[in-house]
Amino acid sequence: MTARRGTPRLGWMDYVVFAILIAAVAYVWYRVDSVLEYRWDWAVIPHYLYRWDEEQQRWVANLLMQGLYTTIRLALWSIVLAALIGVVFGIMRTSRRLFPRLLSRVYVELIRNVPPLVFIFIFYFFISSQIMPLLGIEELVRSASPETLAWLEFLFGPPKLISNVISGVICLAMFEGAYVTEIVRAGIQSIPKTQTEAGLSIGLSRLKLMRYVILPQAVQRVVPPLAGQFITLVKDSSIVSLISIQELTFLAIETAVSTTRVFEVWITVAGLYFCVCYFCALLFDWMERRMAVDR
Amino acid sequence: MKDNVVIELEGVNKWFGDFHVLKDIDLKVRERERVVVCGPSGSGKSTVIRCINRLEEHQEGRIVVDGQELDDDTRNVAAVRREVGMVFQQFNLFPHLTVIENCMLGPTRARGMSKAEARDRAMEYLARVRIPEQAEKYPGQLSGGQQQRVAIARSLCMQPKVMLFDEPTSALDPEMIKEVLDVMIDLAQSGMTMIVVTHEMGFARTVADQMVFMDEGRIVETAPPERFFANPESERTKLFLSQILSH
């Protein structure tokens, strides 16, 4: 059988499904419109995306876009940190020594078997009271030159919220890192043992074997599941709104409450999340195809 | 004695769980000597050579390679492996690296050689196994015979003192066996110390200094090829040879 490219032809079944879909949407619309007696007012939304700043005489991001930027920063840094945690613990998971294996196993099981919310409530207390002072972020920001401050603002957002954002990043990364660990472990273990034997027999140490033979092959195999996990991470980043990290969901709650336009705000927010995640999906698709061409 | 002993096994015993795979193995291989190990499948011949570069651990007895005894000291093991090349039945090339990168990995990463030098050396050995033109391809683009020759070149790039071959032609289509055996015969004639596990008796007759016949984990008979093929001592060897040489 040859797969046909181009536009697929639609069968009668497709039209039936399509009709049912339209009917369902229309029904929901009707219920919202008549039964709920909800008065739509989309006009308030644009103002919460961008507003005209009289002082600076220019358009600036308002709550929702600020939240989106924070979410993107939060997600990007968490992905980097989670990938780092995942690779280190993933390698430890496959170690021949008991201690590293035990340590990473405990980490993974603790996180996988506790609900994310509960974990984040407990862990945030620990981060904000112990780790953040230790990192000395506040002092760093206070003593930074304007130039460094500009960089910090570009990388982490508004200076007064930097420590807030970093707490969120650590929480998210700790949480998602456990899943990345499992993906990396599966990737490493999917490389046949004969590759290890071949590497050892040309005199590579265990470390170099991992670095030059096993990991490069494992990384290629884990790109698809990893992509899925990173998209999940973007969505899961909404959880940290509960520890007052001022990202999209947190600011959406504020906006919804203050405007009372609950549906409009949340539908807009859903759209924003969708755009970010779908963009990520397209990006990972492209990466995957590029790697396949290289082979 | 004009040549030194490079590999010495003394009373080696090994078990896989309850299964006694190697029973009191004694074997000496001198410099420049070519030893061919044969025997029915499951007789432990692969296990013997896998013990020599410690891909398997033995439980009893002594194995000394190039003056180093193989024990639990890991630094010792890595040093030994650099001096012992190994060619596998399934080639085991690194699929994510090109042919030349496969050959350069050991010298650059395990020996600390410069890239330029490693590249020159790799090209030299790829020429010796007669595929310098495939250097920039990936292993998946080559035939089995070509892959096995790359695997031989990859081992040679480490300039080992001994080469081990674990049934190097068993996974190949018949028309490709010869190209690999030719390379191995060249290598033998250049004076490389070799231990070869194989069923290719024609090859054994041509290059072997010593034939070793194994059965059920024991070395049954050790003899120079002339005597081994013409006049084997043990009944078990006679039976094996009659089975393998009749077709």
- Structural domain that includes position A199: 72-249
**CB–CB of B46/B167 below 8 Å?**
yes
**CB–CB of B106/B122 below 8 Å?**
no
CA distance B2 to A256: 92
Contact B92 A195 (CB under 8 A): yes
- What's the average model confidence in pLDDT over A152-161? 82
pLDDT reported for residue A1: 42
> B-contacting residues of A 183-212, CB under 8 Å?
194-195, 197-205, 208, 212
Picking from B82, B94, B140, the nearest residue to A195 by CB comes out as B94
CA distance A273 to A234: 8
**Does any domain span residue A240?**
yes
Percentage of chain A exceeding pLDDT 90:
51
Picking from B90, B93, B110, the nearest residue to A203 by CB comes out as B110
pLDDT digits (tens, 9 = 90+) for A185-214: 999 999 999 999 999 999 999 899 999 999
For B35, the 3-state DSSP assignment is strand
pLDDT reported for residue A2: 46
Mean pLDDT of residues grouped by 10 in chain B (247 residues)?
81 94 95 94 93 92 90 80 94 95 95 95 95 95 95 96 95 93 94 95 93 94 93 91 79
**CB–CB of A253/A238 below 8 Å?**
no
Contact B90 A194 (CB under 8 A): yes
Contact A295 B111 (CB under 8 A): no
Contact A199 B94 (CB under 8 A): yes
Strand partners, B22: B14
For the stretch B129-138, contacts whose Cβ atoms lie closer than 8 Å and that sit 24 or more positions apart, written own/partner, are: B129/B153, B129/B156, B129/B183, B130/B179, B130/B183, B131/B99, B134/B99, B135/B98, B135/B99, B135/B100, B136/B98, B136/B99, B136/B100, B137/B98, B137/B99, B138/A295, B138/B95, B138/B97, B138/B98, B138/B99
Q: Which amino acid is at A214?
A: I
**Does any domain span residue A95?**
yes
For B193, the 3-state DSSP assignment is strand
What values do phi and psi take at B173, rounded to 5?
-70, 150
**Taking CB atoms and an 8 Å cutoff, what residues of chain B touch A203?**
78-79, 81-82, 106, 110-111, 158
CA distance A197 to chain B (A): 7
C-beta neighbour count of A143 within 10 angstroms: 10
pLDDT reported for residue A4: 52
Q: Does A155 touch chain B (CB under 8 A)?
A: no
CA distance B147 to A194: 15
Contact A213 B158 (CB under 8 A): no
**CB–CB of A217/A238 below 8 Å?**
no
Length of chain B measured in residues: 247
**CB–CB of B127/B159 below 8 Å?**
no
Q: Does A292 touch chain B (CB under 8 A)?
A: no
**Does any domain span residue A64?**
no
pLDDT digits (tens, 9 = 90+) for A114-143: 998 898 888 888 887 787 777 777 777 778
- Inform me whether the pLDDT recorded for A235 exceeds 90: yes
- Inform me whether the pLDDT recorded for A56 exceeds 90: no
**CB–CB of A32/A38 below 8 Å?**
yes
> A-contacting residues of B 146-175, CB under 8 Å?
154-155, 158
Q: Extract the tokens encoding B102.
A: 């496969």
Residues near A260 by beta carbon (within 8 Å), at least 6 away in sequence: none
Q: Extract the tokens encoding B48.
A: 């013997």
In A47-88, beta strands by DSSP E: 50-53, 58-61
**Does any domain span residue A143?**
yes
Strand partners, B210: B35
pLDDT reported for residue A52: 85
Q: Extract the tokens encoding A152.
A: 């910090």
* CATH number of the domain that residue A113 is part of: 1.10.3720.10
CA distance B164 to B152: 10
**Does any domain span residue A22?**
no
What does A248-275 look like in DSSP terms, one character per residue?
Answer: HHHHHHHHHHHH--HHHHHHHHHHHHHH
Interface test with B, best of A201, A209, A213, A221 (most B CBs within 10 A): A201
Picking from B53, B78, B154, the nearest residue to A205 by CB comes out as B78
Contact B155 A201 (CB under 8 A): yes
C-beta neighbour count of A223 within 10 angstroms: 16
Length of chain A measured in residues: 295
Pairing of strands B162-166, B84-87: parallel
- What's the average model confidence in pLDDT over A68-78? 93
pLDDT reported for residue A120: 87
**Does any domain span residue A259?**
no
Interface test with A, best of B92, B148, B163, B195 (most A CBs within 10 A): B92
CA distance A190 to chain B (A): 14
Picking from A194, A203, A208, the nearest residue to B92 by CB comes out as A194
Residue A148 backbone zone (phi > 0: left; psi -120 to 50: alpha; other: beta): alpha
Contact B81 A217 (CB under 8 A): no
pLDDT reported for residue B145: 95
Rg (CA), chain A: 24
CA distance A97 to chain B (A): 14
Chain A residue with Cα closest to B159: A202
**Does any domain span residue A287?**
no
Contact B78 A208 (CB under 8 A): no
Q: Does B139 touch chain A (CB under 8 A)?
A: no
Q: Which of B2, B41, B48 is closest to B164 using CA atoms? A: B48
What does A200-255 look like in DSSP terms, one character per residue?
Answer: HHTT--HHHHIIIIIHHHHHHHHHHHHHHHHHHHHHHGGGGGGGT--SHHHHHHHH
> Mean of the per-residue pLDDT values for chain A?
88
Tell me which of A8-12, A86-90, B157-161 is least confident.
A8-12
In chain B, beta strands by DSSP E: 5-16, 19-30, 34-38, 60-65, 68-69, 84-87, 162-166, 193-197, 210-215, 218-223
pLDDT reported for residue B246: 67
**CB–CB of B15/B21 below 8 Å?**
yes
Chain B residue with Cα closest to A203: B82
CA distance B163 to A205: 20
Chain B residue with Cα closest to A213: B94
Contact A204 B86 (CB under 8 A): no
Contact B78 A217 (CB under 8 A): no
Contact B55 A201 (CB under 8 A): yes
**Does any domain span residue A41?**
no
Chain B residue with Cα closest to A291: B96
With cut-offs at 50, 70 and 90, classify the pLDDT of residue A57: confident
DSSP class of B219? E
**Taking CB atoms and an 8 Å cutoff, what residues of chain A touch B57?**
none
Q: Does B111 touch chain A (CB under 8 A)?
A: yes
Contact A213 B94 (CB under 8 A): yes
Q: Which of B94, B85, B110, B108 is closest to B147 using CA atoms? A: B94
- End-to-end CA distance of chain A: give it in Å, rounded: 25
**CB–CB of B131/B149 below 8 Å?**
yes
CA distance B86 to chain A (A): 6
What does B138-163 look like in DSSP terms, one character per residue?
Answer: -GGGS-HHHHHHHHHHHHHTT--SEE
Q: What is the ipTM of this complex?
A: 0.91
**CB–CB of B155/B87 below 8 Å?**
yes
pLDDT reported for residue A160: 79
Residues near B171 by beta carbon (within 8 Å), at least 6 away in sequence: B89, B90, B91, B144
**Number of independent structural domains in chain A:** 1
Interface test with A, best of B68, B72, B94, B164 (most A CBs within 10 A): B94
